[in-house]
Structure 1
Amino acid sequence: MMPATSKVPASRPHRFQARSLPIAEWPAADRDAWIAACRPSQRLVRGGAGAHMKPITLSDLARRYGYFLDFLDRSGLFDRRRPAAGNVTPENVAGYLNELQTRVSSVTVYGSIYKLRRASELLDPHSEFFWLTEIEKDLALMMRPRSKADRFVLSEVLVENGLTLMAEADHSTTCSDLAKARQFRNGLMVAMLALHPIRLKNFAGLEIGRNFVNIEGRWWIILGAAETKEKRPDERRLDDMLAPMLEKYLSNYLDVLAQESESNALWLSSADGHPMTYSAVADAIKRTTSTAIGVGVSSHMFRTAAASSAAVHAGHNPYLASALLHHRDPRVTEEHYNRASSLSAAKKFARIIRRDRDC
């Protein structure tokens, strides 16, 4: 007998905590199909349908599919006897979509359905999900990205606050050694990401001696083509402004954070000394900027800040931001230049107002 279908009450999304159903709790058909799809390629042996994808991408798709299964489980729509991706039906997706629209932004709604479709195609490559693609297209037309105005900070402000946090930690006489090390690490993260706005997955995964190396007394971030989204090598020398702070971090604070653990990771957790995860680095950066600046700046907003600062201070060099962010197409940064132009105009207007008041 098929499980009874029931609508989720409109008020329910406000009373529950959505979770992503772990792969271990997926129906057997889904679980087996996902493992097969993620099977890496080997010599003379073709991998699964997702073998060409990066682990972080596969993990994200599995997480989004897990949210869909969780909705079905809570709604009494979950049929564990169906084949792989068999629960991805127009009726089930319609219910899931209705719930999403009551609790998340239009951008997240679109992303959730888009990634549900991609995960479904990996689970069942032989089925057609064109109807899901049509839903995506409709959602894309309705997307209204949240304004970044309340989170917009120029790079020089981020660098200055990062340097201040490190100086305060270094001169503190009241904090414990571990608290000082944590604050110094967070300040270095903020200043370093502001000056070198690489993508967070690369920033969080920096390892001393592998992709963060000392060459003739200078520290370099060296990312191979396989590590970057653009599939091109990315090499950046650490700015001289940060060199003494990095040396102090490596010599005075890294061992404090490491405690008894051994790792080459640049960013270590103050809780157990293990390498910080992608999420932990993102959370630390956002919490730190929220405390120091009053604005919780996400790691991605550091890239927005870099493009906008380049436009404000070097508008004569239109491709600076594209090079800084490692974009292939300079048009990607156009929106940042438009925002920066507005900022520059506002500053000029304010100077005119002050001058007129002084007359």
Structure 2
Amino acid sequence: MSLVLPVSEWPAQDRAMWEAMLSQGGPLDEQGALAHLRATSIQTLANRYGRWLRWLAVSAPEALELAPEQRATVARLQAWHSDLSHATAMSQLMFIDGILRILRAHSPDLDWCEQRRLLAVLKRRAGTGDRSRKLGRVLSSDVLLEAGLQRAGPEADCATTLLEKMKRQRDGTMIALLALLPMRRRSFNSLSLGASVHVTEEEIMISLSSDQTKTGVPWEAAASRQVEPLLRRYIQDVRPWLMARGNQHHDCLWVGKKGERISDNYLGSRIGTLTLQLTGQRVPPHFFRDAAATTLARLSPRSAKLIRPVLAHTGFGTAERHHIHATTIEAGRYYAEVINRLKRNPR
């Protein structure tokens, strides 16, 4: 049995609450409290709430007779928290916080002081997460770039079949591009020709719309000269060959061995497996972002200032968001130059 109760199986009052909170409203209606969220955030909250409902159905079925906001007593939340003891402290916090985020948005006039105090305790316990999981796994970006170049170049040339050669060229291109343009996994896998990947004779420009970034800030950067030849070969030769194997017709940039669209989970698993083979450390896509930040921070104060635009991080001000967007291309070019220098002069 799944730990998450699908939305279609939620109690009627919970489904009604959820639909109202996601309502886009109209000229005479107010927008729902969660309607402004991105699809991925909505799905994450739905999964957490579905897990809460599943737990209630098994451990406290009488609570399902109550209104949604009346179920989340501190005692019940603590009991659920105890049953989540197998998860990390940060995961436990995220589950509890997700439920309260939904219910507080649904019933903002209720007194949530006790639940807030519980959250504060869980936040102190969780701290900043389990940093030990990254120890030894945050490699320098020049190491990751070199791994990608080797995979797409010499290793691909040594492949015993044409299919294996094409796959290695694809995989190496993904790793090399991520090393220089460290996007989030969802953004990276959502790249599509013509919409977010613009190919001209002079350059290949990667453009992420506000819907493709976690911060809601458009992000744009050119593929650097180290990786552009790989990406151009992938787009012109490798991808069409893979697409033809499965008679596929779509614009997604990254494709499987028969040209099919690949899932975010597959992409993350594939890159983790490949980096383990190539570097001895499993480096999932998000760790490429840590690698970029660490690489820049170690170089100089000037380089450290470029972490935010390179990673498309924002502050709180609108003016700052526009400034970051305006400097992403220049920051990306500087970052590529930094990695190139490190490759020529390894530490």
Shorter-chain TM-score above 0.5: yes
Return the match for 2:234 from 249, 255, 260.
249
Tell me by how many angstroms 1:35 deviates: 2.1
CA–CA distance in structure 2, aligned partners of residues 275 and 60 of structure 1: 22
1:339-354 pair list within 5 angstroms: none
1:109 maps to 92
Which letter maps to 2:199?
N
Is 2:56 the counterpart of 1:72?
yes
Which letter maps to 2:292?
A
Is 2:185 the counterpart of 1:205?
no
Return the match for 2:270 from 276, 284, 297.
284
CA–CA distance in structure 1, aligned partners of residues 229 and 143 of structure 2: 20
CA–CA distance in structure 2, aligned partners of residues 265 and 249 of structure 1: 13
Is 2:314 the counterpart of 1:328?
yes
1:112-131 pair list within 5 angstroms: 112-125=95-108, 127-131=110-114
Is 2:169 the counterpart of 1:184?
yes
CA–CA distance in structure 1, aligned partners of residues 111 and 260 of structure 2: 44
1:143-154 pair list within 5 angstroms: 143-144=126-127, 145-146=129-130, 147=132, 148-154=134-140
Tell me by how many angstroms 1:316 deviates: 4.5
Tell me by how many angstroms 1:126 deviates: 5.2
Aligned residues: 312
Render the CA deviation track for 1:277-299: whole Å, top value 9, x for unaligned. 33332222222222322222122
Q: Which runs of 5+ in 1 are unaligned?
A: 1-16, 331-350, 352-359
Residue 206 of structure 2 aligns to a residue in which SS? strand
CA–CA distance in structure 1, aligned partners of residues 106 and 6 of structure 2: 15
CA–CA distance in structure 2, aligned partners of residues 181 and 116 of structure 1: 45
Render the CA deviation track for 1:23-76: whole Å, top value 9, x for unaligned. 122212112221221223455543322111111111111111122222223435
Tell me by how many angstroms 1:248 deviates: 1.6
Contact 1:84 1:124 in 2 (8 A): no
Contact 1:29 1:82 in 2 (8 A): no
Tell me by how many angstroms 1:125 deviates: 5.0
TM-score (norm 1): 0.78
Return the match for 2:67 from 83, 108, 112.
83
Higher helix proportion: 2
Which consecutive segments of 4 or more residues in structure 1 shift more than 6 A?
none
Which structure exhibits the higher relative contact order, with contacts defined as CA atoms closer than 8 Å and separated by 6 or more residues? 2
Contact 1:27 1:81 in 2 (8 A): no
Q: Which runs of 5+ in 2 are unaligned?
A: 317-346
Is 2:248 the counterpart of 1:261?
yes
Return the match for 1:163 from 146, 149, 153.
149
CA–CA distance in structure 1, aligned partners of residues 201 and 306 of structure 2: 27
Contact 1:34 1:122 in 2 (8 A): no
Which letter maps to 1:152?
V
